[in-house]
């Protein structure tokens, strides 16, 4: 390998590292105690049978102690007798699995902040799901069901769903985002099928948000302000029906807001190509598409935020 190639590889690694650090700095983390740091940051383990959530049976949601991301639901918790809180399922996309260096176990970390949670074990036959997430209590906080915020759901399509999710996931009041497919005639389509342009689906993002912290209108405005809504069946270099601009409303109030904003833009002289359609079945995309830019450290190539209202 010549010096030029080595230099290019070094620069690529350096740029990726810097982007990852910048991404981490934008997240708001809770200040941890020394013992919390030992477990969450440095992959330690609390002593068995000592954690505050080992025997908890109250209804609610377990969240990451470092970043607050929702991890597990109480309905998936069970008593395995191992000395640590055990769950046989996680909230979709909330947990990442990383093989230990020795290959003997699989570590689990928070998908949002990479905080250490514990380990996952398969094939033990303890529940019908045959899975046990063995989690340190100190890695989690608990939100009782009666204190959980009321949530609402919105679905937007504006080209490649990586870029659409990038901006919506960072909006205040957004609890979670999921990329997927909607508006087509094939059940449970794959990315490969959607890319053929024959299934009728659009790449879209399902947003779950807290109405007490944001509004559907604010999210819809952000949708319009982060893509070129005048383009038909494309967004930047991405061309095809799956990249069309659509607001998929879930009720009449969302429809009214979408129509109002589209009219405002038309009155400003924009030729709005965005369609407003009733939401049908939403199919989650493959795991490698979820939170793509958060994982890669990159930024959208065809979505740019600008003021249009």
Active site residues: 134, 160
CA distance linking residue 113 with residue 100, whole number of Å: 18
Beta partners for residue 121, in sequence order: 132
Q: In what order do the strands lie in the sheet with 60-64?
A: 70-73, 60-64, 140-144
Report whether 192 contacts 229 (CB < 8 A).
Answer: no
Specify whether the backbone of 196 is left (phi greater than 0), alpha (psi in -120 to 50) or beta: alpha
The separation between CA 61 and the C-alpha centre of its own chain, rounded to angstroms, equals 17
CA distance linking residue 144 with residue 58, whole number of Å: 7
CA distance linking residue 127 with residue 87, whole number of Å: 10
CA distance linking residue 227 with residue 180, whole number of Å: 18
- Quick one: tokens of 142? 């608990």
> What is the per-residue burial (b if ≥16 Cβ within 10 Å, else e) of 252-287?
eebbebbeebbeebeeeebebbbbbbebeebbebee
CA distance linking residue 168 with residue 46, whole number of Å: 36
Report whether 205 contacts 233 (CB < 8 A).
Answer: no
- Quick one: tokens of 159? 């080209």
CB atoms within 10 A of CB 214: 18
CA distance linking residue 110 with residue 101, whole number of Å: 18
* CA within 13 Å, CB half, 219: 34
3-state SS class at 167: helix
């Amino acid at each position: 390998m010549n010096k030029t190639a080595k230099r290019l590889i070094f620069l690529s690694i350096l740029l990726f590292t810097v982007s990852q650090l910048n991404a981490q700095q934008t997240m708001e983390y809770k200040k941890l105690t020394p013992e919390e740091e030992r477990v969450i940051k440095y992959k330690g383990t609390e002593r068995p049978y000592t954690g505050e959530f080992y025997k908890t049976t109250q209804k609610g949601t377990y969240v990451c102690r470092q970043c607050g991301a929702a991890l597990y639901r109480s309905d998936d918790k069970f008593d395995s007798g191992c000395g640590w809180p055990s769950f046989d399922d996680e909230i979709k996309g909330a947990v990442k699995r990383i093989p230990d260096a020795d290959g003997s176990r699989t570590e689990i970390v928070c998908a949002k902040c990479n905080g250490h949670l514990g380990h996952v074990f398969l094939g033990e036959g303890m529940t019908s799901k045959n899975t046990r997430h063995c989690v340190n209590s100190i890695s989690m906080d608990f939100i009782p069901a009666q204190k959980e915020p009321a949530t609402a759901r919105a679905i937007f399509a504006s080209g490649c769903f990586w870029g659409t999710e990038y901006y919506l996931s960072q909006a205040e009041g957004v609890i979670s985002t999921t990329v997927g497919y909607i508006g087509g005639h094939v059940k449970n389509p794959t990315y490969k099928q959607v890319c053929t342009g024959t299934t009728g689906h659009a790449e879209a993002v399902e947003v779950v948000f807290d109405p007490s912290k944001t509004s559907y209108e604010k999210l819809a405005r952000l949708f319009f302000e982060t893509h070129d809504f005048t383009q038909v069946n494309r967004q930047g270099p991405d061309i095809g029906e799956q990249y069309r601009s659509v607001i998929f409303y879930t009720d009449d109030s969302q429809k009214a807001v979408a129509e109002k904003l589209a009219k405002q833009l038309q009155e400003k002289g924009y030729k709005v190509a965005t369609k407003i359609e009733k939401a049908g079945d939403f199919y989650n995309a493959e795991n490698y598409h979820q939170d793509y830019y958060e994982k890669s450290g990159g930024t959208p190539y065809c979505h740019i935020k600008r003021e249009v209202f």
